[in-house]
């Protein structure tokens, strides 16, 4: 251990005092004057944000050095979380809270400071969208929890220059705009050029014989290398005692331009390679399923896992050069299959670079990797064309073939010649040009544990997705239900509710979310209920003004706020929600039947740019909104809003303002969902199907406090098996369904556009309706009406909402991370006290 670390390891507590406060003030002034280069009175909000962030970062860094020293000192095993996505959200406010500096910042006085309100400054912070949806946000929650618990857990990923596109609407259509993060200049990141890694690509493999051992040796040569520069992003745990980091790699070309080409006047040619290399970390793929088959995507995946694996081995070698000890020091968690190339990369490093035998390398590798599956959607299971992979990574393809050859011998010893089962488990599938590599199979074979993300999902993983693997290795499979960090999703996003809770049960809930149980005692305490509802009301008002600002639509904060915020996908059934809205609208204008209470439907979410059907759903929602919001007959009973550009910072406004959270996925399709947990934590009641973590949420909060509806997974599967689902019959038999559907086959919602714009949706639902929208629509409508009626009884509603908050504790990501720590990683928190 480095001498400079010895002392640090023992002093990591974070107790703020007057000296810290003075330091914070001095630092801010310092950055304004000498870094930004202005007088205080001249700075813009953005500059103020930068100066404060840099000053706060100092505190984070001090704690980070101490944390790392502590981990080193205790020889702790490290967890490496590999993910191509991280939706970390804005940092400043979160870090101020976690470092305990929030009040200090608000209390210091800087002469000439031009603003009264810190919120205005916080609001200018860029919200980096380095992910698509739930999977990326989950990774960010887990980083927060690992740091808050003092678990030595580090994220590895890609430092995209362009995150997810910015969503705008033009005439109701989603338009994507590029969104440059400029992360390398973010005050929260710092480059570690000293940790630069070389990533070889292409070339070929030469086989020779090792003269000493007589074993074959493989030399990957004539490669076209690119370089990975790590950028570290401190992850501040709650209380500031532990600060881990997220290491994101930027791709760089060779800074030495090829001098020969250059001299021959080939300036552009010389630069071309460099530019091409740098495109590797340029942009996040904007799909929440897969972008399989795209060479750049494969390159991104390899780039980042090779950076990570090399970095991990380098750190290990500082501790030991006995490779058998690696599993004592290292666990690599694969966040879905995107980083699965880490497995052959580890083999390549151990065998080709560090001279290990195949058997040694395999034994080590398969004790290090664990894999989390996040989806059962068949189209979302990654595969790569073997030729393409072999061209880019010839040595890795060889290794994958060898892993498969050996694995298939084992499989044959268990399955005999059952060719169906053998074919299902094989990593390599098909022949010749069309041969593919199945990344889920590779991940399962190379990992010691495989988990799903909610109970139902983990069961279906074993019984439906990969039953043959389950038969081979029943003990490898387990469930870890997802969780969310209470720091961002309550303490920070809903400060008023957070304060109310703390004033009644103390603040320990922030790190022990189960303690929210104590709120049960207050569910019928009149003054608590009153405050609780008043806070919800203020959150709704805040959201209403944001909606006005971003859409120009006036919504009534006294109406019930029904929110569906998530990626737009057929299985997530935003389509069903908007059909239900249409049904209510028709009931008013045709039958004079009004909802029990005025309602505001709020949608948010992006569709993958190439997912045309999802984009039509957006257009339909926007058109329905346009018609309803302008129809005076509806008399302010229904409003519909689609808030553009959903991201973490918008979620922080939407979630605390919801009365109803819509979670109506087709049963068996939503692996877990995490929005469902965030809404419940903030006192929204769920209208949801028997799917993903909804099931466990309902179990936790109680049947009476959850609006369940819809077909169950088994029912759906059996209907498919017997071919007995006929949506057209439902259309014919249900007047309710028919009337709604007919509007799609008319110009009711497309007068300004060309005629019968939504006929394609009409036809799809009648003919196929793969996601069974029509099957569940009527029941969905009934349960919505039941909820709306309940909403009129304010006291009853408040009780249900409070019980949701009180009983949602088990969905803290601290619990999830401790589950991983105990059941998979075998690590304990490394705390200073």
Cα separation, 157 vs 142, in Å, equals 14
Within 10 angstroms of residue 343's Cβ, the number of other Cβ atoms is 29
Site for ligand NBG in 430-459 (CB under 6 A): 453
- Please, which residue, 142 or 522, has the CB nearer to ligand NBG? 142
Q: Pick the binder of ligand NBG from 380, 422, 533, 708 (CB under 6 A).
A: 380
SS3 assignment, position 346: helix
Q: Is 109 one of the catalytic residues?
A: no
Residue 240, token pair as written in the block: 């500031």
Q: Is 198 one of the catalytic residues?
A: no
| Chain mean position to CA 355 | 38
Cα separation, 538 vs 551, in Å, equals 20
Residue 457, token pair as written in the block: 């999902």
Cα separation, 128 vs 87, in Å, equals 7
Number of helices (H), then strands (E), in the chain: 34, 23
Which residue has the closest beta carbon to ligand NBG?
A: 134
How far CA 171 is from CA of 622, 753, 776, in Å, comes to 8, 9, 30
Q: State the angle between helix axes of 439-446 and 394-415 in degrees (0 to 180), rounded to the nearest 10.
A: 70
Q: Is 365 one of the catalytic residues?
A: no
Q: Pick the binder of ligand NBG from 670, 696, 788, 790 (CB under 6 A).
A: 670
- Please, which residue, 128 or 557, has the CB nearer to ligand NBG? 128
Site for ligand NBG in 704-733 (CB under 6 A): none
Site for ligand NBG in 276-295 (CB under 6 A): 288
133 is a site residue for ligand NBG (CB under 6 A) = yes
- Please, which residue, 453 or 543, has the CB nearer to ligand NBG? 453
- Please, which residue, 133 or 809, has the CB nearer to ligand NBG? 133
Instruction: Using the rule CB under 6 A, give the single segment among 132-140, 443-451, 637-645, 764-772 that binds ligand NBG.
Output: 132-140
Residue 671, token pair as written in the block: 């692996």
Element containing residue 26 per DSSP (H, E): helix 18-30
Q: Are strands 243-252 and 204-209 parallel, antiparallel or unpaired?
A: unpaired
Name the active-site residue from 566, 573, 647, 698. Answer: 566
Q: Pick the binder of ligand NBG from 28, 579, 643, 671 (CB under 6 A).
A: 671
Query: CB of 127 within 8 A of CB of 90?
Result: yes
Q: What is the full DSSP assignment across 194-261?
A: GG-EEE--S-EEEEEE-TTT--EEEEEES---EEEEEEEEEEEPTTSS-EEEEEEEEEE--SS--HHH
Instruction: Using the rule CB under 6 A, give the single segment among 131-139, 306-314, 781-789, 801-809 that binds ligand NBG.
Output: 131-139
138 is a site residue for ligand NBG (CB under 6 A) = yes
93 is a site residue for ligand NBG (CB under 6 A) = no
Cα separation, 618 vs 602, in Å, equals 12
Distance in Å, CB of 457 to ligand NBG, minimum: 8
CA-based nearest residue to 746, from 575, 617, 620, 628: 620
Distance in Å, CB of 712 to ligand NBG, minimum: 17
- Three-state SS sequence of 735-783: HHHHHHHHHHCCCCCCCCCCCCCCHHHHHHHHHCCCCCHHHHHHHHHHH
Q: Is 504 one of the catalytic residues?
A: no
Q: Is 211 one of the catalytic residues?
A: no
Q: Is 414 one of the catalytic residues?
A: no
Distance in Å, CB of 233 to ligand NBG, minimum: 21
Name the active-site residue from 67, 481, 666, 674. Answer: 674
- Please, which residue, 201 or 607, has the CB nearer to ligand NBG? 607
Q: Pick the binder of ligand NBG from 135, 326, 436, 625 (CB under 6 A).
A: 135
- Please, which residue, 50 or 374, has the CB nearer to ligand NBG? 374
- Please, which residue, 128 or 134, has the CB nearer to ligand NBG? 134
Distance in Å, CB of 808 to ligand NBG, minimum: 16
Instruction: Using the rule CB under 6 A, give the single segment among 672-680, 720-728, 731-739, 754-762 that binds ligand NBG.
Output: 672-680
- Please, which residue, 8 or 575, has the CB nearer to ligand NBG? 575
Size of the site for ligand NBG (CB under 6 A): 17
Cα separation, 78 vs 821, in Å, equals 11
Distance in Å, CB of 567 to ligand NBG, minimum: 8
In the complex, the residues that contact ligand NBG under the rule CB under 6 A are 133-135, 138, 288, 336, 374-375, 380, 453, 482, 670-674, 692
Report the catalytic residues. Answer: 374, 566-567, 572, 674, 678
């Amino acid at each position: 251990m480095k001498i400079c670390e010895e002392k640090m390891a023992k002093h990591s507590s974070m107790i703020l005092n007057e000296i810290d406060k003075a330091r914070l003030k001095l630092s801010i002034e310092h950055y304004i004057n000498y870094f930004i280069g202005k007088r205080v009175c001249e700075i813009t909000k953005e500059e103020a944000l930068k100066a404060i962030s840099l000053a706060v970062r100092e505190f984070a860094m001090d704690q980070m050095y101490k944390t790392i020293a502590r981990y080193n000192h205790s020889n702790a095993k490290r967890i490496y979380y590999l993910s191509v996505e991280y939706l970390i959200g804005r940092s400043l406010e979160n870090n101020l809270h976690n470092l305990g500096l929030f009040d200090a910042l608000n209390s210091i006085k800087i002469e000439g400071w031009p603003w009264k309100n810190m919120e205005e400054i916080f609001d200018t912070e860029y919200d980096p969208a380095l992910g698509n949806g739930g999977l990326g946000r989950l990774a960010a929650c887990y980083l927060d929890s690992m740091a808050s618990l003092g678990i030595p857990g580090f994220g590895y990923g890609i430092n995209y220059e362009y995150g997810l596109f910015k969503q705008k609407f033009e005439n109701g259509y989603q338009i994507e705009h590029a969104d440059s993060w400029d992360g390398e200049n973010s005050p929260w990141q710092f480059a570690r050029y000293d940790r630069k890694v070389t990533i070889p690509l292409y070339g070929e493999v030469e086989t020779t014989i090792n003269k000493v051992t007589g074993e074959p040796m493989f030399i990957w040569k004539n490669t076209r290398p690119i370089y990975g520069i790590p950028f570290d992003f401190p992850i501040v745990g709650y209380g500031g005692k532990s600060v881990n980091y997220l290491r994101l790699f930027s791709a760089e070309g060779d800074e030495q331009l090829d001098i020969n080409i250059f001299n021959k006047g080939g300036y552009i040619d010389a630069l071309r390679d460099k530019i091409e290399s740098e495109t590797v970390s340029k942009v996040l793929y904007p799909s929440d399923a897969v972008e399989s088959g795209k060479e750049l995507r494969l390159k991104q995946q390899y780039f980042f896992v090779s950076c990570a694996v090399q970095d991990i081995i380098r750190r290990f070698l500082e501790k030991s050069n006995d490779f058998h000890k690696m599993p004592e020091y290292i666990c690599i968690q694969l966040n879905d299959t995107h980083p699965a190339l880490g497995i052959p990369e580890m083999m390549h490093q151990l065998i080709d670079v560090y001279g290990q035998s195949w058997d040694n390398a395999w034994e080590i590798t398969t004790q290090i990797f664990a894999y989390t599956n996040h989806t059962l959607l068949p189209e979302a299971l990654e595969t790569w064309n073997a030729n393409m992979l072999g061209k880019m990574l010839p040595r890795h393809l060889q290794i994958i073939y060898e892993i498969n050859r050996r694995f298939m011998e084992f499989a044959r010893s268990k399955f005999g010649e059952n060719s169906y089962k053998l074919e299902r488990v094989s990593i390599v599938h098909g022949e010749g040009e069309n041969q593919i590599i199945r990344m889920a199979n590779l991940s399962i074979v190379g990992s010691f544990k495989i988990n799903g993300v909610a109970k139902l999902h983990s069961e279906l993983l074993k019984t439906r997705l990969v039953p043959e693997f389950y038969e081979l290795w029943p003990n490898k499979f387990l469930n870890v239900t997802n969780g969310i960090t209470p720091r961002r999703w309550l303490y920070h996003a809903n400060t008023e509710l957070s304060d109310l809770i703390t004033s009644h049960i103390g603040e320990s809930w922030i790190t022990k979310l189960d303690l929210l149980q104590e709120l049960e005692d207050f569910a019928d305490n009149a003054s608590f209920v009153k405050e609780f509802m008043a806070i919800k009301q203020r959150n709704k008002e805040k959201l209403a003004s944001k909606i006005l600002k971003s859409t120009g639509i006036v919504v009534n904060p006294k109406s019930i706020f029904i929110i569906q915020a998530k990626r737009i996908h057929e299985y997530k059934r935003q389509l069903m929600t908007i059909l239900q809205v249409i049904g209510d609208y028709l009931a008013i204008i045709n039958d004079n039947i009004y909802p029990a209470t005025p309602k505001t439907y709020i949608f948010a979410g992006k569709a993958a740019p190439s997912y045309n059907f999802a984009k039509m759903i957006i257009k339909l929602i926007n058109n329905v909104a346009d018609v309803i919001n302008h129809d005076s007959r509806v008399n302010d009973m229904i409003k519909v809003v689609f808030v553009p550009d959903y991201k973490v910072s918008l979620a922080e406004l939407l979630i605390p303002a919801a009365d109803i959270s819509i979670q109506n996925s087709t049963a068996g399709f939503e692996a877990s969902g995490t929005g469902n947990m965030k809404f419940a934590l903030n006192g929204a009641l769920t209208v949801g199907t028997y799917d993903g973590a909804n099931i466990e949420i309902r179990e936790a909060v109680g049947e009476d406090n959850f609006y369940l509806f819809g077909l169950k997974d088994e029912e759906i599967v059996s209907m498919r098996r017997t071919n007995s689902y006929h949506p057209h019959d439902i259309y014919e038999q249900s007047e309710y369904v028919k009337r709604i559907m007919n509007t799609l086959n008319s110009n009711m919602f497309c007068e300004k556009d060309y005629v019968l714009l939504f006929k394609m949706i009409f036809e799809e639902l009648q003919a196929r309706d793969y996601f069974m929208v029509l099957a569940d629509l009527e029941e969905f409508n009934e349960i919505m009406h039941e909820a709306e009626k309940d909403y009129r009884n304010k006291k009853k509603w408040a009780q249900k909402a409070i019980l949701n908050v009180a009983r949602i504790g088990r969905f803290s990501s601290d619990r999830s991370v401790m589950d991983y720590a105990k059941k998979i990683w075998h690590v304990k928190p490394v705390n200073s006290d």
